[in-house]
Structure 1
């Protein structure tokens, strides 16, 4: 059964509540307003988010705060070399003489996969079905995951000893990759004045719930994209493709359209503009083009090279 279509007044009320949620997270994760907005757009586009940065930049705080203000269930898994696939998806245990499936932490709304590249490729692959199909197949049965479902994975792109880089097939399942970076000086001084923020996360009041988030996702998916806008997105895809067959795939194009629709909806518009595509292009495209800052440079170069119709 699909999500009911909200009336215009209800849609605007949803947008206002999302705005309150965003403002609450921005007050907590200081100096990261753009990252917060992009993370919300990623959720509204029904995608997943990869956060790459040094430890201590606020990645976990951002994930926890988003789940808290949106009224979503949250679980965190610390990925380590000895983590098993069943530690993520769950598995059968013996109870009173019979096997019973016990759901793993993936059965939640927001799953924080902390330092995802420190687990083995086998354990990393346990997330693939969950991220793509929103279900888990285990013990001879397929079980749907709660909706909405958002994986926020983190990894340190610099200290790579003992890690297993995510394969391209799994990177492609992430709608966006973000780097938070250091906060602006004034925001960092305010953070030093306020001290640790763990208690502040627990003090956040939920502004929405899972049903409201699903309704917001449905509203964002209905944002109109005119033929010239679609032609612009297609031109970006075409420009990324070299003679060797590398470049952005059709799935990347669908991800870009979904993210642009979500960004436009957050901006209060009912149609996508080229500036919405440009706002989300680098986070959506960079990790599909190349690793690290090389991918970001390549995506930025594409924006410069392709003219707006």
Structure 2
């Protein structure tokens, strides 16, 4: 190609595949200014303009705006610098689109009305800091001024919802439900009662911790009773109940007597709100953790056996 040759807008259009209108727009914008003009006043372009136009088209096809294209063509920024900045911006857009897709799928699956759709969209758009702040505010409102079990409170504060960049519709739904749960006055009142019970236990000298092993032992023992079809109020349930109260007496360093059973029944009844277990199930879904097996049937059976 002759380096001194000059091309009309029509020539550039045929060589680049761009429309005359687009090339004229780039020319008017100063992206690809004309090299010269014909005697009749028509714009003419040299080989450098053709190269400049080809680069502008490539950058525009990659999604860069005209300001960024102009900076590259005017040598105010390099192609790698602009590409890196644009890639970062695309990452944000992609995360936003993925979140919108998950919300829309959740809306479709739930058959949400316009109010619920607006709520889901608002909650899903919260930043990670905003999500954490919402949950911490719930914990502060329910446990903040009480001397409750410090291990349990620390566990709650460390278990924050971490919605991934590409959430599933199930994770979005779980986050929306968790956010609603944390703001539910009835649930807050229920958790507050649990916190007050823990604080009263601590003032009475119970500083024995979370008792994960005890919970697993209860799950296994009551699981045997449930598998055998033993009703909690039946005579066959008595050995199971006695073995369980013995475990609690040992764990809490108390006598296995009527006072223990009354205390244990009160403890189970205070913690019986199924929404408390739902809280941890929702966190597991959001964070991609294994969802723990339901404990509600186990402690419902145990509570009924103690009452009997």
Q: Please, what TM-score do these two structures have when normalized by structure 2?
A: 0.23
Query: Which of 1 and 2 has greater Rg?
Result: 2
| Structure with the largest fraction of helix | 2
Q: Which has the higher contact order (CA 8 A, sep 6+)?
A: 1
